[in-house]
Amino acid sequence: MKTLVTNIGQLVDTGDNVGELSILVDHAFLVEGGFIAWVGAEALAPDADQVIDAKNQVCIPGFVDSHSHLIFAGARHEEFSHRMAGSSYQAGGIRSTVQATRSATDAELRANAKKLVAELHASGVTHFEIKSGYGLDLETEIRSLQVASEFTEDVTFLGAHVVPDGISRTDYLALVTGPMLDQAAGIAKWIDVFCDEGAFSVEESRQVLSAGIAKGLRPRMHSNQLKNIGGISLAVELGCASVDHCTHLNPEDIKLLASGQTVATFVPGAEFSTRANYPDVREVIEAGVRVALSTDCNPGSSFTTSMPFVIAVAVRELHFTVDQALWAATKGGALALQNSLGSLAVGSRADFALLDAESYIDLAYRPGVPIVSATYVAGEKVFERTSN
């Protein structure tokens, strides 16, 4: 089956370098077998079995959300409300979601994740990673990973989110790097650790990630969110695909990141929802660091599934240019997951979103307005907005 996507107002594609976009007009593309088989001037379009009329809307590569925590139960409205009234965010809040998650059935966890995945699709996300990390006992961590694997191939074992109540640090680290990891390694692709104040030290994080790497998992990290305790050098040393949050980076961290392959993933939803100061990415990007943007969707620090919201905040507050932000939410996310998504070049999976907009700039220029009108994964429609 050949499908021609035609009548596109702006066709936006990503290049290899941060912020590199090409904006094509009067262009169309052909989808065959879920992949892009041809891109070119509309006047030269090949024959197809069916047509998707983009109605002069903007077409962008689907967003690649490289960091989400969709497997949980319960919510933390009161905690958020207190924070907005002046209390501070602490890693320990995670433990209240742990209780609710342990009590939830698989069906409940699945239903919650399914709803959030539908929201991701509605925000133009076509590929996403999901972490465990709200079970923090063997049974619930493994159940969480199993449910996550029903939605994505990018499943991350985050047993080392915090030390749960009722177990010593030493015993918990032995569990996470021993029996829990043994089972997690059969399901997850990635291993993650929350390396920060109130969570795990750099040395503990090294222990966790090294154990995961020895079992064949690929490393990624949460770090430098609450404080800079030195996690960046570990991320670069271990070749983490990505180090996420990066709220507090010093010049040495930036140099280290620029010298390695680790992507710096920014999650402005977390600064927004914890009333933290936003990082400034200008020096980071200027130094040559590869950057990504992600929702970090979770019930504590960033309960959003909206990549356009993340882009708008990234532009307004973190000083991304609009082009850099769109690149970071597509190609950057793909690099953070070590895959080749985030592009509409020939050979790419046909993951794209249509924007009811004159320009992709509306992603930041029209904050809070639901401009994503349809989302396609491998050429198949997964979302269509019926009314605005």
Binding interface with ligand NIG (CB under 6 A)? 93-94, 97, 194, 222, 225, 270, 296, 298-302
Provide, rounded to whole angstroms, the least separation between the CB of residue 366 and Fe ion: 27
Provide, rounded to whole angstroms, the least separation between the CB of residue 133 and ligand NIG: 7
Cα gap 101→134, rounded to integer Å: 6
Provide, rounded to whole angstroms, the least separation between the CB of residue 311 and ligand NIG: 18
Provide, rounded to whole angstroms, the least separation between the CB of residue 155 and ligand NIG: 16
Name residues whose C-beta falls within 8 Å of residue 211's C-beta, 6 or more positions apart in sequence. 176, 177, 178, 181, 191
* Residue 99 φ/ψ region, left for φ over 0, alpha for ψ in the -120 to 50 degree band, beta for the rest: alpha
Cα gap 210→160, rounded to integer Å: 13
Cα gap 221→251, rounded to integer Å: 19
Structure tokens at 71: 């497997």
Nearer to ligand NIG, 9 or 133 (CB): 133
Residue nearest to Fe ion (CB): 296
Contact of residue 231 among ligand NIG, Fe ion, none (CB under 5-8 Å per partner type): none
Contact of residue 300 among ligand NIG, Fe ion, none (CB under 5-8 Å per partner type): ligand NIG
Contact of residue 93 among ligand NIG, Fe ion, none (CB under 5-8 Å per partner type): ligand NIG
Nearer to ligand NIG, 194 or 320 (CB): 194
Any alpha helices (H) in the chain, and if so which ranges? 77-84, 94-103, 106-122, 138-149, 169-177, 179-184, 202-214, 231-237, 251-259, 268-274, 282-286, 307-317, 322-327, 333-336, 362-365
Q: State the residue for tokens 């920014």.
A: 266
Nearer to ligand NIG, 95 or 206 (CB): 95
Q: Is 170 helix (H, G, I), strand (E, B) or coil?
A: helix
CB 246 within 8 A of CB 264: yes
What is the DSSP track for 6-61? E--SEEEEE-SSTT-EEEESSEEEEEETTEEEEEEEGGGPPP-SEEEE-TT-EEEE
Nearer to Fe ion, 296 or 323 (CB): 296
Nearer to ligand NIG, 184 or 371 (CB): 184
Binding mask 277-306 for Fe ion (x = CB under 5 A): -------------------x----------
How many residues in the shown chain lie near Fe ion by CB under 5 A? 1
According to the binding rule CB under 5 A, does residue 154 interact with Fe ion? no
Contact of residue 194 among Fe ion, ligand NIG, none (CB under 5-8 Å per partner type): ligand NIG
Nearer to ligand NIG, 28 or 136 (CB): 136
Binding site for Fe ion (CB under 5 A): 296
